[in-house]
C-alpha cells in the first residue's frame, strides 16, 4: 500500500523546517539570500513560513503587509523548495488583544489572561474566529496558484482550555445536545452524590476552579468538549482554505509525546495529514536505548492516529533550549533520530528552526544555521549529511507500515483513570503501562500500531488492551467480535470497570467483557511503592507490583497464580477460549522479564515474526513497505558497536536501511 506524498507533485522526503524571515526584515538583502544558499547546501527542500507572523502580516487592524511573504514565497519557488505555509493564529497581535479583550483566554479560576504569551486565545470568541478566518482567506487567495504552496500548517501546537462566559455557554449547549434532558445528565454524572443534582442548565460551571466539584462525569465531559472546541476551531480555520485551495492538504503540529489534553484520535479525523513535534530527551552516551524506545512509541502513536504516513513537523538538530538540561546531540544522533522517524512512518524530517533567532524565548534553541551564520558548524554538517542521504529515499515516500498487532492507548480511558478516585490516585501509570507492553515488541523488532478503543480491529491477529478501565460505546462488542472470529486478545487488571459516563458496571468486573475473558474480578489491591507480590507461571516467579486484582475463573483456564499475601495461590494469569480465538488476562501489574517471556509466547501464537532473530539490547528494527518492496531499518541506540546476525557490524548510533523483497 502506497499513500500519496504530503505535497502532491513533490514525491520526495521533505527536509527543512520552521523559517522566520520576518525576524530579519531589516537585513533581508543579506540574510534571506544567504539563507537560500545555505538551505540548498544542506539539502533542504521545504521551509515552514508564517507561523506566529500575524503582526508582520497585519500590523494594524485591516492594514495588510503581504509583500515580504510574497518575496519569501518567490524565493522558495526559485530555489526549488516547497512551502509549508502557516496560518498565524498561534499568537495574536497586541492591537487585537487591546481592542477585543474577548479573544484572550480565561483560566479555570475565571481570570482573564493578559496579552503577551502565544497560544492563549479563547476557542469560542466570535471576533477571534472572524479574524482568523479573514486572514486565512487572504492568505489562501493570495497564494492559491503560487508554485511554492505545498501544505497548510494550521496555527501551532493547539493546547489548553478556556473558561470564559462564551465558552461556558458553549459547554452548556454541548451538554444539552448530548443529553437532551437534565434527568439524563444527572444520571450520567450520578449527581445525587454530594447533592450535585442540576436543576437548571445555567447552574453548570466548567470544572477546575477553586471550590470546583469533584464529579468525574463533568470533568470527563469538559475534556471531551474541549477536544470538540479544538476540532471546531480548526474547521473554522480551514473552511476558507478548503474552499479556495481544495488540493492543498491541511495539518496542525501535534505534541504526541507527553501531551494528553486533546483526544488526538478524534482530532485526527478532521486533519488531512497528521504531523507532530518530536523532541527526544537524548542523554550523553549511555541510556539512549530507553529514549529511543519512547520516541518510537510516540512516532507509532502519531502514525496510528490516521494509520498512514505522517510528517515530522519539528525536531531539533541540536540542543533543545526549553529542556532543564539543554544537552547537545552526540555525534551520529541527528542522523539516527531522523532515520528513526522515517522508520516509523514519517515522510518528512523538519526542524525547529532553520535560522536561530537572535533574541526571544528560543534564541538558544538548536537550529540548522547558528548565530555564527555559516555552514562551518558541526550541526550544519550533520543536517547536510542527512539532506544528502534523504535524496536517495524517494521510494520510501508514502510507504505503509505492515503491522499485524495493535496496542490500545485511549485518551478518554486515560482521562477517566486520571479522574478516578481509587487504586493509585497520584499516578495510575496508564501510559507507562502501555509503554511497558510496547517494550517487548520494540526489543524484538515486531511492528505495532497504537490504536484507541474505537478503531476497527480487522487487520490484526493480536490486540493488546492494557487497563481498559472505561469501555466506551461499542468497544466491548468490537473486542468480543475480534476474539470470536479468531483474534488473540491480551487484557489486564483495571479493565471494564466503568461505562462511557464513568458509571460502574453492575454485576461484576470486567463488565461486558466478563464472558469473553471468562473471569470475574472481585477486588483490586493497591501496593505501596516498593511493595511487591509475584506471579508464578511456567515454573518461574515474576515480580508483581502497584496493582493486583483478586480474580476468579469463570470458564477461563488458570495459567499462573499469586505467590504471596493473603491471596497467594489465587489466579493471576488466565486464558479463555472464546469462539475461534483466545483472551488472556494478566491480573497484576508486571514488567521486564514477565512481559518479555509472555509476549515471546503470545507473538509466536499470533504468527508474528520478528524482523531479525535476536536483536542485541538497544538495537531496534522497523519496517515500511509492501508489495514485495520493503525497507527494513536497523538502528543502534547504543554508543557501542553491535552485531546482528547476517549483517555487518552496526557502528555506534548507526541507522541502516536494508531493502528486502519479502518479510
Q: Which residues bind Zn ion (CB under 5 A)?
A: 122, 124, 162, 164, 166-167
Distance CA 556, CA 553 (A): 5
Residue closer to Zn ion by CB (options 164, 268) is 164
Q: Which of 22, 58, 228, 314 is catalytic?
A: 314
Contacts 24+ apart (CB under 8 A), 94-103: 94/55, 95/60, 95/61, 96/61, 96/128, 96/131, 99/61, 100/125, 100/127, 100/128, 102/127, 102/128, 102/164, 102/166, 103/127, 103/128, 103/131
- Do 393 and 410 contact (CB within 8 A), yes or no? no
In the complex, the smallest distance separating the C-beta of residue 105 from Zn ion, rounded to whole angstroms, is 6
- Least distance from C-beta 202 to Zn ion, angstroms? 17
CA dihedral 564, 567, 572, 575 (to 10 degrees): 140
Backbone angles phi, psi at 175, to 5 degrees: -70, -40
Q: Identify which of residues 167 and 254 has a Cβ nearer to Zn ion in the complex.
A: 167
Closer Cβ to Zn ion, 233 or 584, answer by number: 233
Indicate the residue among 102 and 531 with the shorter CB distance to Zn ion. Answer: 102
**205 included as an active-site residue:** no
Q: Least distance (Å) from Zn ion to the CB of residue 91? A: 17
Nearer to Zn ion by Cβ, of 122 and 255: the residue is 122
Contact 89, 132 (CB under 8 A): yes
Query: In the complex, what is the shortest distance from the CB of residue 167 to Zn ion, in angstroms, rounded to a whole number?
Result: 3
Contact between 123 and 159 under an 8 Å Cβ cutoff? The reply is no
Q: Please name the residue that has the C-alpha cell 478516578.
A: 420
Could you tell me the smallest distance in angstroms from the CB atom of residue 207 to Zn ion?
Answer: 15
Q: How many CB atoms lie within 10 A of CB 60?
A: 10
| Least gap, CB of 166 to Zn ion (angstroms) | 5
Using DSSP, state whether 89 is helix, strand or coil.
coil
DSSP 101: G
Q: Which is nearer to Zn ion, 108 or 393 (CB)?
A: 108
- In terms of CB distance, is 31 or 108 closer to Zn ion? 108
155, three cell numbers: 496555527
Per the CB < 8 A criterion, the answer to whether 262 and 297 are in contact is: no
| Closest approach of Zn ion to the CB of residue 170, in Å | 8
Here the cell at position 622 is: 522497523
Give DSSP secondary structure letters for 58-69.
Answer: -SBTTB---HHH
Catalytic residue among 157, 228, 431, 536: 157
The C-alpha atoms of residue 279 and residue 276 are separated, in whole angstroms, by 10
Q: What is the distance between the alpha carbons of residues 635 and 299, in angstroms, rounded to a whole number?
A: 15
Among candidate residues 286, 385, 288, the one with its CA nearest the CA of residue 338? 385
Does the active-site annotation cover 385? Answer: no
- Measured from the CB atom, the residue of 102 and 385 that comes closer to Zn ion is 102
Please answer whether residues 626 and 404 qualify as being in contact, where contact means their C-beta atoms are separated by less than 8 angstroms.
no
Question: Quick one: 132 or 295, whose CB is closer to Zn ion?
Answer: 132
Instruction: Please state the closest distance from residue 100 (CB atom) to Zn ion, in A.
Output: 12
Which DSSP helix (H) or strand (E) runs through 75?
helix 67-78
Query: Which residue shows C-alpha cell 514519517?
Result: 346
340-352 burial, b for 16+ CB within 10 Å, e for fewer?
A: bbbbbbbbbbbbb
Nearest-angstrom CA–CA distance, 67 and 142: 11
Three-state DSSP class for 292?
helix
CB of 236 to Zn ion, least distance (A): 14
The set of catalytic residues is 157, 314
Amino acid at each position: 500500500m502506497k499513500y500519496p506524498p504530503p505535497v502532491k507533485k513533490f514525491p520526495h522526503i521533505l527536509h527543512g523546517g520552521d523559517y522566520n524571515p520576518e525576524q530579519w526584515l531589516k537585513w533581508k538583502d543579506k540574510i534571506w539570500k544567504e539563507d537560500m544558499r545555505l538551505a540548498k547546501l544542506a539539502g533542504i527542500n521545504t521551509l515552514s513560513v508564517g507561523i506566529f507572523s500575524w503582526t508582520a502580516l497585519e500590523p494594524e487592524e485591516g492594514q495588510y503587509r503581504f509583500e515580504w511573504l510574497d518575496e519569501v514565497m518567490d524565493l522558495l519557488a526559485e530555489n526549488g523548495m516547497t512551502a509549508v505555509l502557516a496560518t498565524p493564529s498561534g499568537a495574536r497581535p497586541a492591537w487585537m488583544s487591546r481592542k477585543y479583550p474577548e479573544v484572550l483566554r480565561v483560566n479555570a479560576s475565571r481570570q482573564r489572561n493578559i496579552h503577551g504569551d502565544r497560544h492563549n486565545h479563547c476557542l469560542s470568541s466570535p471576533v477571534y474566529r472572524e479574524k482568523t478566518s479573514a486572514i486565512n482567506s487572504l492568505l489562501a487567495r493570495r497564494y492559491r496558484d503560487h508554485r511554492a504552496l505545498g501544505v497548510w500548517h494550521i496555527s501551532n501546537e493547539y493546547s489548553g482550555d478556556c473558561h470564559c462566559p462564551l465558552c461556558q455557554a458553549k459547554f452548556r449547549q454541548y451538554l444539552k445536545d448530548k443529553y437532551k434532558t437534565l434527568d439524563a445528565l444527572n444520571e450520567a454524572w450520578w449527581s445525587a452524590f454530594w447533592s450535585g443534582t442540576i436543576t437548571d442548565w445555567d447552574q453548570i460551571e466548567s470544572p477546575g476552579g477553586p471550590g470546583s466539584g469533584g464529579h468525574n462525569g463533568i470533568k470527563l465531559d469538559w475534556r471531551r468538549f474541549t477536544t470538540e472546541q479544538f476540532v471546531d476551531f480548526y474547521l473554522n480555520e480551514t473552511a476558507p482554505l478548503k474552499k479556495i485551495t481544495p488540493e492543498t492538504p491541511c495539518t496542525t503540529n501535534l505534541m504526541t509525546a507527553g501531551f494528553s489534553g486533546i483526544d488526538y484520535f478524534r482530532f485526527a479525523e478532521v486533519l488531512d495529514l497528521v504531523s507532530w513535534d518530536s523532541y527526544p530527551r537524548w542523554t550523553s552516551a549511555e541510556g539512549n536505548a530507553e529514549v529511543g524506545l519512547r520516541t518510537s512509541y510516540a512516532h507509532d502513536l502519531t502514525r496510528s492516529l490516521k494509520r498512514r504516513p505522517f510528517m515530522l513537523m519539528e525536531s531539533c538538530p541540536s540542543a533543545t533550549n526549553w529542556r532543564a538540561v539543554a544537552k547537545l546531540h552526540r555525534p551520529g544522533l541527528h542522523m539516527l533520530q531522523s532515520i528513526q522517524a522515517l522508520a516509523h512512518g514519517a515522510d518528512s524530517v523538519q526542524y525547529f528552526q532553520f535560522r536561530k533567532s537572535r533574541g526571544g524565548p528560543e534564541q538558544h534553541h538548536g537550529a540548522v544555521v547558528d548565530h555564527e551564520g555559516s555552514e562551518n558548524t558541526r550541526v550544519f554538517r550533520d543536517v547536510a549529511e542527512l539532506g544528502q542521504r534523504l535524496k536517495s529515499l524517494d521510494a520510501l515516500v508514502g510507504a505503509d507500515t505492515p503491522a499485524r498487532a495493535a496496542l490500545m492507548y485511549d485518551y478518554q480511558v486515560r482521562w477517566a483513570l486520571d479522574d478516578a478516585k481509587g487504586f493509585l490516585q497520584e499516578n495510575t501509570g496508564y501510559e507507562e503501562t502501555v509503554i511497558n507492553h510496547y517494550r517487548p515488541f520494540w526489543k524484538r523488532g515486531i511492528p505495532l500500531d497504537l490504536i484507541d478503543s474505537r478503531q476497527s480491529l480487522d487487520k490484526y491477529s493480536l490486540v493488546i488492551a492494557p487497563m481498559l478501565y472505561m469501555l466506551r460505546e461499542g468497544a466491548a462488542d468490537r473486542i468480543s467480535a475480534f476474539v470470536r472470529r479468531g483474534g488473540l486478545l491480551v487484557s489486564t487488571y483495571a479493565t471494564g470497570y466503568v461505562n462511557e459516563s464513568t458509571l460502574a458496571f453492575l454485576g461484576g468486573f470486567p463488565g461486558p467483557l466478563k464472558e469473553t475473558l471468562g473471569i470475574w474480578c472481585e477486588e483490586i489491591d493497591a501496593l505501596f511503592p516498593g511493595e511487591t507480590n509475584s506471579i508464578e507461571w511456567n515454573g518461574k516467579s515474576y515480580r508483581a507490583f502497584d496493582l493486583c486484582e483478586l480474580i476468579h475463573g469463570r470458564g477461563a483456564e488458570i495459567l499462573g497464580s499469586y505467590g504471596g499475601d493473603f491471596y497467594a495461590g489465587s489466579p493471576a494469569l488466565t486464558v479463555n477460549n472464546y469462539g475461534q480465538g483466545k483472551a488472556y488476562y494478566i491480573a497484576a501489574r508486571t514488567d521486564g522479564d514477565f512481559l518479555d517471556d509472555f509476549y515471546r509466547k503470545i507473538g509466536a501464537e499470533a504468527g508474528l515474526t520478528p524482523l531479525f532473530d535476536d536483536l542485541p539490547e538497544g538495537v531496534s528494527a522497523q519496517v515500511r513497505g509492501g508489495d514485495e518492496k520493503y525497507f527494513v531499518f536497523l538502528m543502534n541506540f547504543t554508543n557501542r558497536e553491535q552485531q546482528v546476525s547476517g549483517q555487518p557490524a552496526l557502528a555506534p548510533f548507526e541507522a541502516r536501511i536494508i531493502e528486502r523483497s519479502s518479510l
